[in-house]
Amino acid sequence: MTTSFQNTDVDSVEGLLGRLEQLNDIGAALSNERDITRLLEYILLTAKGITHADGGTIYSKAANANSLHFEILRTDSLDIAMGGSAAAPIHFPDLPLLNAAGEPNDSLVAAYAAIHRVTVNIEDAYTDPNFDFSGTRKFDQNTGYRSRSFLTVPMCNQDGDVIGVLQLLNAMCPGSHEVVPFSKADQQLVESLASQAAIALNNRLLIQQLEDLFESFISMINLAIDEKSPYTGGHCQRVPTLTMMLAEAAAKNKAGPLASFSMTEADRYELKIAGLMHDCGKVTTPVHVVDKATKLHTLYDRIDLIDTRFEVLRRDAEIAALRQQLALRPCVDAASENATLENLKVQLGALDDDRAFLRATNSGGEFMSDDAVARVQHIASHYQWRNTKGHQSNFLSADETENLSIRKGTLTRSERDTINHHIVATIKMLEKLPWPKHLQNVPEFAGGHHERMDGKGYPKGLTREEMSVQARIMGIADIFEALTASDRPYKPGMKLSQAISIMVRMKDEGHIDPDLFDIFINQGVYLSYAQAFIHPLQIDEVNLATP
C-alpha cells in the first residue's frame, strides 16, 4: 500500500485542506488493510508523509502489558529501516512503563504518552527538561545525527485503552532540509490520524483475536479426535500442511490446464481452515471402528477367542485319542495305538495350520485372494466345537466369518459405511456454521476430499467438473497422507515408491485429479512432504518414468 504526499504549505488554507483530503483517503485505506504489520507500517509512513518527518517509530502495547514494544522504525536521512517490510529486525528492548520502584516511568517520552494518554510535542530534545533523552544523545553521537523535534502521540482504541504509540522525529521544512518543530496543525493531523489508525488497528486486532479463537476451537476439536483415537490426530495436522504445499505449487504453476489458478491471502486462509476441519466429523465415529487394528477387533481383538476354540479342539482331539488308546488296553494293540497317535498329530497339525492362517488373515492387508476367502469359510463350518452352553456349534460365527473374509483392510462394508459417514457429519457440522464471506467455501472444500473425478466417490458423487480445485487438492493430500502414515493401527506406513505407484493407478482410474497429481509429482511436492513428515526408512527411490 503506497500513498503520495504533496509538499503543501502547512500554513495556507489550501495546504491544510489538501492534507485533510489526504487524511480522508488515509482513513479509507486503513480500513481496507488486513495485515497488521503492513497496517502499522502504513500508519507510520503516512504520519511521516503528512508532517514531512525524517523519522518515526511505532510502538505496540498488548493488553495488560507493562511495556511498549518496538514494531516499526524508520529514519530516512540515515537510511535506517527496521521492522515491518524491512529486512532488518528490531533488536531494541521494550520500553518499560514502570520503573524499578514500580512507579510510572515518566522519564521516557513514549512511556509518558502511553501512561497519561497525552500527546507530547517537543521542539528540541537536547533542551527539554522533562524527559530523559540520554539514549537519544548516545545514538546521535554514534551516528552523527541530530535529534531535535519530537511528536509523540498515544493510539487509543474505542474504549480509551492505549494500544500503541506513534512517535515522529525531526519535522522538515517543505522544500528544504531544515529541521523545524512540529506545528499545531501537524499535531492535530497526527492526533486525528492516530485516532483513525487506532480504531483500524483495534478492529484488525479484534478480528485477529476472533480468528485465533476460532483456530483454537478447531484445534480443540482435533484434540478431541486425537484423544479419542491417537491414530487420527496426526492426520488432522498433516493433511492441512500437505494441502497448502500442493496449493502453493499449483498457484506457482504457470503452464497447462491449471495455469490460471491463483490464491490471495484470503484464499489461503480459507483453504487452511478447510484443511484443519476436513475430518471434524470423526468426533461422531465410534472409537472401535476408527481404531480397528485387525479384522476381528471390536472393543478387543476376538482372535483370542478363536485361539481358545482351537485349544478346545486340540484338547478334544487328544481326549478322543486317549480314549481310543484306553479302549485298546485289554488287547494291547500297539499298531492301533500308533495309528491313533499319528492321526492325532495330523489333526493337531491341521489345527495349528488353520490357526496360523486365521491369525495372519486377521491382520488385514491390501488384498485377499478368493482361495483365502474360501479357506476362511471352510474353517468356519468344517470344525465343530462345544460352546459354553454345551451345544455343538460352527467354529466361526457369521460375524466372525464376515470379518475374516474382508478382502482389503480391516473394515466390513457396514463399518466402512460408518467410517464414511464422518464426511457426511463433517459437511452437516460445517454447514451449520454462519461462515463469513471470506470463509463461505470451507464446507465445499472440506466436504469434497472423498469425491472422485469420475463421480464414483462419496457422499455426493460429484464429478471433477462439479468440484473446486481446492477440494481436489485436498483429496490428493488426504490419500497420500493416509498411504504413507506410520501411525495407523491396521498397517505400517508405505514406502514412498509404493504410495506413488498406487496414486498413479488412482489417477489412471479417474480417482484423483490428473493435472494436480502431475504438479504434485513434477514440482516435487511429494518429496518435500516426505522429507518433513515420513520416516526416513520409508523414503526410497521413485521411478517417475514408469507409466
Tens of pLDDT, residue by residue over 119-133, are 999 999 999 999 999
* Overall pTM > 0.75: no
**Helix 36-51 crosses helix 184-228 at what angle (to 10 degrees)?**
180
pLDDT at 312: 76
- Give the helix ranges, DSSP H, for 365-412: 370-382, 398-404
More reliable by pLDDT, 319 or 48 = 48
More reliable by pLDDT, 309 or 285 = 309
Question: What average pLDDT does the structure give for the chain?
Answer: 84
Please name the helix (run of DSSP H) or strand (run of DSSP E) that holds residue 385, with its range, or none.
Answer: strand 384-386
d(CA 32, CA 505): 47
> How many CB atoms sit inside 10 A of residue 535's CB?
11
Confidence bin at 9 (pLDDT 50/70/90): very low
Please name the helix (run of DSSP H) or strand (run of DSSP E) that holds residue 172, with its range, or none.
Answer: strand 162-172
Residue 301 DSSP SS3: strand
Q: Does the pLDDT value for residue 88 go beyond 50?
A: yes
The CA distances from residue 295 to 291, 400, 410, 413, 417, in Å, are: 11, 9, 4, 12, 15
Q: Does the pLDDT value for residue 3 go beyond 50?
A: no
Tens of pLDDT, residue by residue over 161-171, are 898 999 999 99
Window from 70-79, 454-463, 483-492, 525-534 with minimum mean pLDDT: 483-492
pLDDT at 232: 57
Q: Does the pLDDT value for residue 299 go beyond 70?
A: no
Tens of pLDDT, residue by residue over 394-435, are 888 888 888 888 888 777 787 777 666 778 888 888 888 899
pLDDT at 494: 85
d(CA 462, CA 3): 47
**Kind of pairing between the strands at 53-60 and 392-394:** unpaired
Please name the helix (run of DSSP H) or strand (run of DSSP E) that holds residue 507, with its range, or none.
Answer: helix 496-508
Among candidates 393, 420, 397, which has minimal Cα distance to 409?
420
Among candidates 483, 230, 487, 490, which has minimal Cα distance to 363?
490
Q: Does the pLDDT value for residue 488 go beyond 60?
A: no
Domain ranges of the chain: 13-207, 229-281+422-538, 303-410
d(CA 275, CA 257): 24
More reliable by pLDDT, 261 or 210 = 261
More reliable by pLDDT, 467 or 41 = 467
d(CA 162, CA 110): 12
Q: Does the pLDDT value for residue 443 go beyond 80?
A: yes
DSSP 83-129: STTSSBPP-PPPEESB-TTSSB-TTSHHHHHHHHT--EEES-TTT-S
CA angle 519-520-523, nearest 5°?
A: 65
Confidence bin at 263 (pLDDT 50/70/90): very high
Give how far the C-alpha of residue 96 lies from the chain's centroid of Cα atoms, to the nearest Å.
Answer: 36
State in Å, rounded, how far the first CA of the chain is from the last one: 49
Tens of pLDDT, residue by residue over 229-240, are 665 557 778 899
- Give the helix ranges, DSSP H, for 33-80: 36-51
More reliable by pLDDT, 472 or 428 = 472
Window from 95-99, 234-238, 464-468, 514-518 with minimum mean pLDDT: 234-238
Phi and psi at residue 53, to the nearest 5°: -80, 145
pLDDT at 7: 40
Confidence bin at 334 (pLDDT 50/70/90): confident
Q: Does the pLDDT value for residue 388 go beyond 70?
A: no
pLDDT at 547: 43
Confidence bin at 489 (pLDDT 50/70/90): low
d(CA 178, CA 233): 63
Question: Which residues, including other chains, have CB under 8 Å from residue 274's CB and lie 6 or more apart?
Answer: 243, 441, 442, 445, 446, 470, 474
The CA distances from residue 450 to 109, 240, 274, 454, in Å, are: 60, 15, 14, 12
For residues 145 and 51, is the Cβ–Cβ distance under 8 A?
Answer: no
Confidence bin at 510 (pLDDT 50/70/90): very high
- Give the chain's radius of gyration (CA, Å): 37
pLDDT at 199: 80
Query: Hey, what's the cell of 131?
Result: 524527559
For the domain spanning 229-281+422-538, the CATH number is 1.10.3210.10
- For the segment(s) 13-207, the CATH number from 3.50.7.10, 3.30.450.40, 3.40.630.30, 3.30.420.10 is 3.30.450.40
For residues 154 and 119, is the Cβ–Cβ distance under 8 A?
Answer: yes
Rounded to an integer, the average pLDDT of 71-87 is: 92
d(CA 229, CA 290): 7
Q: Does the pLDDT value for residue 1 go beyond 50?
A: no
d(CA 146, CA 144): 7
* Most confident by average pLDDT, 184-193, 209-218, 377-386, 505-514: 505-514
pLDDT at 335: 83
Same-fold call for 13-207 versus 229-281+422-538: no
More reliable by pLDDT, 157 or 325 = 157
pLDDT at 33: 63
Identity of the amino acid at 438? H
Residue with the three cell numbers 500554513: 11
Please name the helix (run of DSSP H) or strand (run of DSSP E) that holds residue 424, with its range, or none.
Answer: helix 413-431
pLDDT at 35: 74
Please name the helix (run of DSSP H) or strand (run of DSSP E) that holds residue 57, with its range, or none.
Answer: strand 53-60
Query: Which residues share a beta bridge with 153?
Result: 166
Among candidates 195, 419, 426, 445, which has minimal Cα distance to 288?
419
The CA distances from residue 408 to 93, 310, 331, 366, 509, in Å, are: 61, 25, 56, 5, 18
Q: Does the pLDDT value for residue 295 go beyond 70?
A: no
For residues 61 and 162, is the Cβ–Cβ distance under 8 A?
Answer: yes
Confidence bin at 514 (pLDDT 50/70/90): very high
